Structure 1
Amino acid sequence: MVKWIRYRYRIEVTCFKRPDELTVQQLAHRLQVSPHVVYYWIERQVVQARKLDGRGPWWVTLDAAKERQLEDWVRTSGHLQRQHTYTQL
């Protein structure tokens, strides 16, 4: 019902994600890992993430140093396998 009202009256969806935050899928794509790996990092507090009122999507805050650390971790890990990203020609 709400979705239809937004469509009918052209009301934009409010987004509470900050410009410096990434979604789980965005971070997984950027580091070429599975989203499950990002959720694992969130559970273990390897990365800082937040949810609104404890529900909804995770938003990850990542500075340049932490991103380099994670890239190195993924590259040198014997357990993590990079996900192949295919581009359409």
Structure 2
Amino acid sequence: MARRFIRYQKDNAPKDAVVLRVLQRGGRAVGLVREIDFGNEGTPYYPSEEVAMPDAIRLAENRNDSGGPILVEMAEDVEWNPDWGVLEG
């Protein structure tokens, strides 16, 4: 079964969402976990380093404690690769 992701939109992002930002670097796509908002100031989370997309996806899945959808924020110069999963929205 393919992984499912939802395109990030600031005005309808659910609380406790993991946001995976996808960027283009040197001719390849990389990702970072840009934001995790658990609404709990006692548990700070900071953006990860830019890593290869398979690693970024695993990191986002590992940080997704809420079990909700992983949101994807695409930079303008990168395209979604269907090998990563299904991007909805």
Same fold (TM over 0.5): no
What's the TM-score once normalised by structure 1's chain length?
A: 0.27
Indicate the structure whose relative CO is greater, using CA pairs within 8 Å and at least 6 residues apart: 2
- Determine which structure has the larger helix proportion and give its number: 1
Choose 1 or 2 for highest CA Rg.
1
What's the TM-score once normalised by structure 2's chain length?
A: 0.27
